[in-house]
């Protein structure tokens, strides 16, 4: 029951704090987390891209905790932003939140999310031991 990162020497190294692929060993359970946004528990939207990203990661951590998992169980991250320059902001905040943990990752930019005030959305897949 292990996670193994794959960053082969035959391709360019990852451009940020992620890995090219994560292998999920036998006996693991998978959790798919729907896209999360920067909504606080009271329903208000955090301000600015940093505030929304930090709240989004807090929401993801709460969901993982409810499933008896942690941020270290994340194997795939998909990040969506409405401004291309915010992908760099996300990379910095993701590195702060995840520390040395590396997951497979994809990031892209769209013209708008569910409401015009939402600046980011993140979905993750996590894998942890069967309980």
- 32 domain-assigned: yes
The CATH number given to whatever domain includes residue 116 is 3.30.1330.40
Which residue is listed with tokens 């270290």?
A: 72
Prediction pTM value: 0.90
Query: Per the domain annotation, does 10 fall within a domain?
Result: no
Could you list the pLDDT tens digit for every one of the 131 residues in the chain?
578 888 888 889 888 788 888 888 888 899 999 999 999 999 999 999 999 999 999 999 999 999 999 999 999 999 999 999 999 999 999 999 999 999 999 999 999 999 999 999 999 999 988 77
Q: What gap in Å lies between CA 82 and CA 116, rounded to an integer? A: 9
Total domains in the fold of the chain: 1
Domain containing residue 77: 16-129
């Amino acid at each position: 029951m292990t996670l193994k990162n794959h960053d082969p020497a035959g391709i360019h190294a990852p451009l940020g704090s992620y890995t090219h692929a994560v292998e999920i060993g036998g006996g693991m359970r998978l959790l798919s987390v729907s896209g999360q946004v920067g909504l606080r528990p009271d329903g208000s939207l955090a301000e600015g891209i940093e505030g929304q990203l930090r709240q989004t990661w807090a929401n993801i951590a709460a969901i993982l905790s409810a499933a008896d998992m942690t941020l270290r169980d994340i194997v795939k991250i998909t990040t969506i932003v409405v401004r291309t320059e915010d992908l760099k902001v996300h990379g910095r905040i993701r590195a702060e939140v995840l520390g040395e943990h590396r997951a497979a990752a994809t990031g892209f930019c769209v013209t708008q999310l569910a409401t015009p005030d939402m600046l980011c959305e993140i979905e993750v897949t996590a894998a942890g031991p069967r309980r």
